Structure 1
Amino acid sequence: MNKAIPTETPEAPDADLQFGLAVRARRAQLGITLDQLAEASGVSPGSLSRVERGLLSASLRNAMAIARGLGCDIGELLQESDGPQVTRASEHRRIVHEDTGVARIALAKPAPGLSVIQYEVPPGAESSHFAAHRAGTREMFYILKGSVRVFAGTESVLLRTGDTAVLTMDSEHRFINEGATPARLILIVSTPVS
């Protein structure tokens, strides 16, 4: 009698696939490899690869470890497929850089590979130097108030209130408020997930 060998099916349940795509998008946004995420989370690279492709359901313990390895809450990796997704003003995750005072407010992750962030930048303050994103990643800056100079590789562009710029971010990048008043901007990051 032949023994059946279990195989992975390419047709994953929607929840597994959505979680996997969210993990892949977040990892790509951070610019880290599967091996780096494996080291940070304690989940093997092979298992992470299968999770990202929706071929393996992550246990709650592994899902929490993956989220910690990605520096986010597990809720950020879980996508609801139906109905509106509402985050109240008091629920937005706000991180303020101790040295610069630059505030980052995570507004939404409406789809895998898509993030909407608000930044508040004090006069003279500069963001962190962000590593190059995955090829094809684009960032859209919309200046709500003040002015900000955005550096992408060797190029820079000065944006003022009401200005919008879309830039490819496949090189190191950063931004700085060169003005004398606080600046506020919306940043939309679009990362390819395939």
Structure 2
Amino acid sequence: MADTTMAESQAEAGSLSTRVIELRKRRGLTLEQLAAASGVSRSMLSQIERGKANPTLAVTLRIAQAFGMNIGDLVDQPWTASRIEVIRSDDASQLFRDDRDCRIRTLSPLHMEKHVEFYEVRLAPGARLHSAAHFEGTRELLTLTQGCGKVLAGENRCELNPGDSAHYHADLEHTIENSGEEELVGFLVVTYQ
């Protein structure tokens, strides 16, 4: 019985370490930045990420709050059929980027981001969203709902109008550009193979 409990504890620590690393990198945070946001020391976060520490409930809660989620979401509880996940339009924790040129809002729950990501993208007139090549096999599907735009992926280019969709390789350097005079609004789905 004691061996089972120890094995379960190690599995939980491993799962949490993977989750914290994934969320921190996904949000572009350093250990120092996550430490400042959570109030958990950098050394403790490092130990958690390496699976060397099993944090207390209070520490886990502070880390979850730093990511704008509850403990259940942080530890990635199994999906239940009765659960409906809602991402509210005014939830600032879902903003991936928000500046004068570009606003990107995550529409997919964080636990799905291992396979698919879903975003609302808004670009000011003349603004560009340039991305380095993602992991091999990554694809993007962009559908415009407002404005006109261009997509450049490697050597390939296309023009888009409202209602148009473009599917392209995102494992190449790529750019979404607002080529119109009004705000570009679109939905972007990123898939990983």
TM class, shorter-length: 0.5 to 0.7
Amino acid at match of 1:105: R
**Gap regions ≥5 residues in structure 1:** none
Deviations 1:118-155 (A, max 9, x none): 1122221222x323322222222111122221223343
TM-score by length of 2: 0.64
| Structure with more of its chain in helix, by fraction | 2
Deviation at 1:108, TM superposition (A): 2.4
Matches of residues 65-144 of structure 1 in structure 2 within 5 Å?
Answer: 72-75=67-70, 77=74, 79=76, 81-82=79-80, 83-91=83-91, 93-94=94-95, 95-98=97-100, 100=101, 102-109=102-109, 111-113=112-114, 114-127=116-129, 129-144=130-145
The 1:21–1:38 alpha-carbon spacing in structure 2 relative to 1, beyond 3 Å, is same
User: Match of 1:12?
Assistant: 11
Q: Percent identity?
A: 21
Assess if the C-alpha contact under 8 Å between 1:146 and 1:179 holds in 2.
yes
* Unmatched tracts of structure 2, length 5 or more: 35-41
The answer to whether the Cα contact below 8 Å between 2:143 and 2:164 also exists between their aligned partners in 1 is yes
Per the alignment, do residues 112 and 180 of structure 1 end up closer, same or farther by CA in structure 2, a change over 3 Å counting? closer
Q: Is the 8 A contact 1:147 1:161 kept in 2?
A: yes
8 Å contact 1:28–1:134 — kept in the other structure?
A: no
TM-score with structure 1 setting the length: 0.63
* Other-structure match for 1:158: 159
